[in-house]
Structure 1
């Protein structure tokens, strides 16, 4: 049924996995949804807590699924972490990285020096599927020597073809236990990445919405910033979890195709607001 919320939304923050695709399989309607946003002059940024790939690699992944998105419309937790740190420290600042290419590339792009010893200003931790004891030990010693501890995201698990595997949260938890130090977390549901996404969109809270499949990251993070929240049931959330969760989204749809159909209908009966 058409509603009054959708026509007022001018800027969108969209999660990817569980919204536009599941692992490597596109969800029907994703390409059409993004096309509709562009046709109606709505701005969007795609966000992901995954720090292992670069925005360009995500753009390539989406392209293989028939979804065309420029890399400048994609914000990963790795890129958000590098942007966040670039506001605190100048180029040339030394960091120790526990993470993969997406995180290392983002930090280097913003002028950080990737070091292999403990004389660093920051230890930055993301998902690292080549994790070793030596990496954990170096990170621990660096933090105990005064380095600040930064984590890309709090996701404890990572959905894969085999099932749920350890995520970045599982990695940084080992370092947290060894150092008695909790990291500053950048990704959802913490505000840093979502605030950076809003800056990219030149958006303010009124008229901005987040669309995602997770109550604990997307909906919790959006609600904390006062954004409109749209939950899609095409990913990790079950009807039972939604019924018992304290995180209540403003709108719930089965998938992005259902959202698009309702948005078409809502826009047709309520004129788009002028300006931003």
Structure 2
């Protein structure tokens, strides 16, 4: 059966490289979200960036003229904390490399945060702009002692106004190499974060589209989870890379402004 854009009933929207790059809004972001709100189309912002809380993202979006509540934001930090809560005893000690987003998510799920490898029951690693050798050493020691190793995501880079900067995946790779253990990854492209997001939306995979700029996380993850996939060219992956990918996105647009034009075309 041929897929048409108007078969989509709900959207998962990546943020970095789709809605904004660093502090700069990307074309069509505010207008597309406004359309979703006005037409009552279910949507979530779905980001692999674990550094911010939903409240911080709401503030950032408001600064771009996009006004949503915290329930519209689902991060790899929230997904990781929810995943771990189903598997770990209440009050378990977690050695965390990360910023406010993952730390608050873990605390809200009842975990204790520790810095000493000897006290750690689990190790959780996300993006940390204050990452140091000392933090890496404690994480490696804890993992070598047997603490399960969980990563919020493995995006090697993240887009900024200045270009692509090191992301959580760069930190995770260093710790994996030193510890000799591969992390259990929760964020995109793994299915867990998509399943949790769909549960929050209350929609089925086949009627939901992921809009993303990064093939190896957004598009690969969407395909694995059974979603429709929309690639945009205002972030990491180029048109040539999308076209050469197997499988490619179901649709490719320059940005959300381009997607909005296609959405507004009469249904045939």
The bucket for the TM-score relative to the shorter chain is over 0.9
Between 179-188 and 126-135, the greater mean CA deviation after superposition: 126-135
Question: Which segments of 5 or more consecutive residues in structure 1 lack a partner in the other structure?
Answer: 271-276
1:149 paired residue number:
149
**Does the CA-based 8 Å contact 2:16-2:158 persist in structure 1?**
no
Partners of 2:145 and 2:3 in 1: how far apart?
Answer: 54
Instruction: Describe the superposition over 1:75-110 as per-residue Cα deviations: whole angstroms up to 9, x where unpaired.
Output: 111111111111212431110001111111111111
Alpha-carbon distance in structure 2 between the residues aligned to 1:109 and 1:51:
15
Cα distance in 1 between the residues matched to 2:71 and 2:161:
28
The count of residues paired between Structure 1 and Structure 2 equals 266
Aligned to 1:269: 267
Give the superposition deviation at 1:5: 2.0
**More displaced stretch, 180-189 vs 22-31:** 22-31
Question: What's the CA shift for 1:223?
Answer: 0.7
Give 1:4 shift. 6.0
The runs of 5 or more residues in structure 2 that have no matched partner are none
Give the structure-2-normalised TM-score.
0.94
Partner of 1:77: 76
Aligned to 1:50, the other structure's residue is in SS state coil
Match of 2:99 in 1: 100
For normalisation by structure 1, the TM-score amounts to 0.91
Establish whether residue 168 from structure 1 lines up as the match of residue 168 from structure 2.
yes
How far the C-alpha of 1:214 sits from its partner, in A, is 1.3
Partner of residue 35, structure 1: 34
**Which deviates further from its counterpart, 215-224 or 20-29?**
20-29
Where does 1:12-27 land on structure 2 (aligned, <5 Å)?
A: 12-27=11-26
The structural deviation recorded for 1:52 is 0.9
Cα distance in 1 between the residues matched to 2:105 and 2:158: 21
1:246 CA displacement: 2.0
- 8 A Cα contact 1:215 1:247, kept in partner: no
Are residue 189 (structure 1) and residue 189 (structure 2) matched? yes
Q: Is the 8 A contact 1:79 1:106 kept in 2?
A: yes
Take 2:238 and 2:74, find their aligned partners in 1: how far apart are those partners?
A: 26
Q: Is the 8 A contact 2:125 2:150 kept in 1?
A: yes
Contact kept, 8 Å, 1:59 with 1:69, in 2: the verdict is yes
What displacement does 1:159 show? 2.3
Q: Is the 8 A contact 2:121 2:148 kept in 1?
A: yes
RMSD, matched Cα = 1.6
Per-residue deviation, 1:35: 1.9
